[in-house]
Structure 1
Amino acid sequence: MLSYPRRISYGIGRTGSSLLLTFVDFAGLNIYYSFFLLNPLYAGMASAFGFIVIGLSHWYLGFRSDRTESRFGRRRPYIIIGAPALAITGFLIFVPHWIIPPSPDPINDPTWQFLTFGYYLLTLALFKFFYAFLITAYQAWLPEIADPDERPNVGAIQNTANWIGTGIGIVLGFVSGILFVPISGIPTTIGFIVLVTISLLCFLLFLPAIFFVRSRPGIKPIDRSIVEETKTALKNPNYVKWILVVGFWSLTLSTITAIIVPMLQNGLLLGFTQLILAAGIFLIALMIVPFILARLVKRFGKKRILMAALIILALILPFTAILGLPAFGPVTFQVIAFGIPLGSCVAALYLMRYVVIADIAHKDELESGQARAGMYEGFQGVPLNVFQAIGATFLGWFLLVLQVSPGPPPVNFGFFWWGPVFAIFLVIAAVILHYTNIDPDFSDLEKPLNK
């Protein structure tokens, strides 16, 4: 039984890491493309490399944390080291001027483009590695601290903390124009304070979990090779289908994260007040939906809820092609009408991802007698991030092809036509989900253990 104070102690850590990750994901492409004037294909390639790094790191570190045995437990050492390392590398992404001298003509300066691309690629890769280092063990901790009937509630708390951080990160990404100086990209005084603050929060908000949360007794490290553990995980057909579902929808979600701010700022030309309003509406949807879904899951099951979210999101994304046209009313109204279902569906996908993988790991533990939550959570990151890397590279190429002017600010038809294209991958995810069982009956599985 995990008490509510400990549930909160566990879940609140995601606020800081999600805040920093969201700011990096939302503001990274926007700052390097719109402010530093880095070629969008280079920005996409750097993002793709970051996804490859985090995917491979998830895989190995999930296995490694399953085998870890220390005075601090299996998962806590990764949180103790990973939280401060993530904070430092996240901060470094936004200060390339500390290393690279400015250029009078950055768009046409190949040396500056190469150095900036290299800096972004390196710092982003380090940031993604430490994110995997921290979050893989953190997520693998869930089935070891909470019972199956507690996980939807713990997941809802975690998801709310996640989306509070995400929402703040989105708002900061939306108003990045006041945080960085155009063309040079140097942080303003306010921007520097914001960077330091969100980096510190990334570390400090994991302290309650480090000090107050403990795994249930009796969990032993697995003494197997990573190859054996990977083969064991891949023999689970439900797990294979699930990672394909997550992979296809993540390709689209990573694109939403990267393109939404440039679309609103440079495509729809929203002002500061409009951006804050749109971000606030989006954030409210993200915060409320997880708790509603936690109740609906008990009544309808995870599969129905997830299928509905995928289908609705696939239906609304094509509307980006006509978003902003005067015939459909004021732009602010259109953004709000689009943002509420968008935020609700995205929240549903993230909540289900955490809960389902924990259930798959717990079901395997009941059937095999071995706890390998780290491997299930970790290996999931490999195909997931390969899909996201493909999406990032494709998005960079897409923006380059449809670019009218590099700016500043950039003018690009890709800000609008990405929706119809990337909605296709959600449909593929829904088809695979149709053949996937994500609602196991734990009562039947636990009966032999209770005899």
Structure 2
Amino acid sequence: MIATRESISMTKRLPLRIRIGYGFGDLPGNLFFTMMGFYLLNYLTDTVLLGPALAGTAIMVGRIWDAITDPAVGYLSDHTYTRFGRRRPYMLVGAVTLGFSMAALFWPPPGDSVGSIFWYIVIVYCVVNTAYTLHNIPYGAWSPEITQDYHERTTLNAFRNLFAVTGTLVGAGLILPLISAMGGGVRGWQGMGAVVGLFMLVTGLIPVLLVPEKKHVRGAHHPPQLLTMLKDYLGAMRNRPYLLILIPWSLNIAGINIIQASLIYYFTYIYRSPDAFVIALGGMLLVCMLSIPFWVAVSRRIGKKYSYITGMGFFAAMILLFFIGAPHMDVRFAYIVMALAGIGFGTQYVMPFAIVADVTDVDFAASGVRREGVFFGMFTFWSKIGQAIGIWLVGLMLELVGFVQPEIAGVAPLQSEQTITGIRWLVGPVPVLFFLGGIVILWFYPISKARFDAVMREIQELD
């Protein structure tokens, strides 16, 4: 039964049921994110046998389409009013569509026509991304409405991101074993897609069913208009604190996607051990999940901005250490360094969303209009532009360094020294440049705990 009582957004401490129910909503999204980031390019090049540049282009088109739909869904969810709330109707449709379209993505049409396979992947991937947007954008915009307490928001996002990392762990650690259990090759990918699609559908519905949503919020009754929507998004892009978190987030996402897409190639063609990839990735993400409470505690002492800077700086340092040391060590070195990298990576799952929630309140205090969907929609828009650029760069670079595709799906050929060097740089200096750019820009983000408290007093006076 769908929850219908009033939101308890002004409560100091949220009930555990609300924290867990809301947290579940990020599990399917991060399972999706992990699968697409770590495996989709490799699936297209090594199983579907599309060329790396063509495969990267297919993914880039889907991500750009996904980015375009984000602001529209964010705006629509801000201006939707039903008896079930603003956010949950979209999440319901998104969860169901995501489940079915995810299964279809891994059932490309039979035949050898590169063009037909390319366009099938592009179209179905666009549908998958639209479903993800319908669920994820309203879900992200919902958190500022659930609680308005500064520290409780961090705690709520910590619960959210514990489930996010769980989804990431499932995607990282179980996808390849599940493919093997389903028979491997094309058949294995098809079976995996069906199982994961069903899992995403079920977990995506949990917050819709368990978490109540406020029946009416300021401005929810206004019908959506294109001109108003454009003004809202232009207004968001003129918000300096928002830009100072948006740009670092996008750069970090681009760098992370470069690493995600490249790691499977590193372990397959350099270590010659895809199974070791599952172990190393699982270790990194397990440490990442365990580090989330640590970063929540750190943020209470030094603030969200400096926690984010510290974490991503440490993550970048570990990536450089891997780049320098891995050629001289065996795979155990990769296990250790990637586990250490997980400590820094944990902050990426907590701080950005907690920071944006604060920015939405600063905007409300200045404008008198609630526009959480606009801000989270634009946040996700630019993250997906970053993802598109990152994945496309990997495909393009693999093409340029002479990547040799398998003659038989799933059988890895030997690569040239030039290709090996290119793969190493994709898990080293290339993404680190993106991380360093994000750190420099984030340094100027201005909202501290003291300023946030002042803004909340202004909002209370408005109410």
Structure-2-length-normalised TM-score: 0.87
Equivalent runs, 1:51-66 vs 2, <5 Å? 51-66=63-78
In 1, Cα distance between the equivalents of 2:432 and 2:397? Answer: 15
CA apart distance, 1:304 = 1.1
Please point out which of 295, 299, 302 is paired with 2:301.
299
Relative to structure 1, the CA distance from residue 41 to residue 84 in structure 2 (aligned partners, 3 Å threshold; closer, same or farther) is same
Match of 1:421 in 2: 430
Seen in structure 2, the aligned counterparts of structure 1 residues 120 and 448 have a Cα distance that, compared at 3 Å, is: closer
Shift of 1:125: 1.4
Equivalent position of 1:114 in the other structure: 115
Q: Does 1:392 align with 2:400?
A: no
Where 1:187 maps in the other structure, the secondary structure is helix
Q: CA RMSD in A?
A: 2.2
Counterpart of 2:3 in structure 1 is: none
Distance change in 2, residues 1:448/1:15 (3 Å): closer
What pairs up with 1:127-206 in 2 under 5 angstroms?
Answer: 127-147=128-148, 148-175=150-177, 178=180, 185-188=185-188, 192-206=190-204
Q: Give how far 1:198 is off.
A: 1.9
Q: Distance in 2 between matches of 1:47 and 1:85?
A: 19
For the 8 Å contact 1:164–1:287, the answer to whether it is kept is yes
Paired residue type of 1:311: G
After TM superposition, give the deviation of residue 291 of structure 1 in Å.
1.3
Which moved further from structure 2: 7-16 or 363-372? 363-372
Amino acid across the alignment from 2:247: L
Provide the residue aligned with 1:241 in structure 2. 244
Deviations 1:268-290 (A, max 9, x none): 11263x34432331232121111
The percentage of counterpart residues that share the same residue type is 24
Asked whether the 8 Å contact 1:50–1:128 carries over to 2, the reply is yes
**Residue 228 in 1 paired to residue 238 in 2?**
no
Amino acid at match of 2:286: I
* Deviates most, 45-54 or 378-387: 378-387
The counterpart of 2:453, out of the listed 425, 438, 443, is 443
- AA of the residue aligned to 1:5: R
3-state secondary structure, aligned to 2:151? coil
User: Which 4+ stretches in 1 moved above 6 angstroms?
Assistant: none
2:279 corresponds to which residue? 277
Identify which range, 261-270 or 352-361, moves more after superposition: 261-270
Does the 8 Å contact 2:80/2:86 carry over to 1? yes
State the 1:34 CA deviation. Answer: 1.5
TM-aligned CA distance change 1:192 to 1:63, over 3 Å: same
Q: Is the 8 A contact 2:157 2:353 kept in 1?
A: yes
Q: Tell me the distance in 2 between the aligned counterparts of 1:69 and 1:29.
A: 39
Letter in 1 for 2:291: V
Q: Which residue is 1:12 aligned to?
A: 24
Deviation per CA, 1:5-42, whole angstroms, max 9, x where unpaired?
A: 11101111222332233223322111111222210001
1:107 equivalent in structure 2: none
SS in 1 for 2:350: helix
Which shifted more, 210-219 or 148-157?
210-219
Contact 1:23 1:172 in 2 (8 A): no
Q: Which residues of structure 2 form unaligned runs of 5+?
A: 1-10
Q: How does 1:282-361 map to 2 (within 5 A)?
A: 282-322=284-324, 324-325=326-327, 327-328=328-329, 330-331=330-331, 333-361=332-360
Q: 1:250 to 1:21 in 2, by over 3 A?
A: closer
Is 116-125 or 166-175 further displaced after alignment? 166-175
- For residues 281-311 of structure 1, the C-alpha deviation after alignment (integer angstroms, 9 at most, x for no partner) is 1232121111111111111111111111222
CA distance in 1, matches of 2:247, 2:87: 26
Runs of 5+ consecutive residues of structure 1 not aligned to the other structure = 104-111
Matched, 1:123 2:104: no
Could you list the per-position Cα deviations for residues 23-78 of structure 1 after superposition, in whole angstroms to 9, with x for gaps in the alignment? 23322111111222210001111111122111111111111111111121100111
C-alpha distance in 2 between matches for 1:443 and 1:284: 34
Aligned positions, number: 432
Q: CA deviation at 1:166?
A: 0.6
Question: Partner letter of residue 164 of structure 2?
Answer: N
Residues 1:42 and 1:339: Cα distance change in structure 2 (over 3 Å):
same
Q: CA deviation at 1:393?
A: 1.8
Deviations 1:136-188 (A, max 9, x none): 00000000112232111111111010111111101134547626777xx4223
Distance 1:91 1:21, change over 3 A: farther
Aligned CA distance change for structure 1 residues 323 and 123 (closer, same or farther; 3 Å): farther
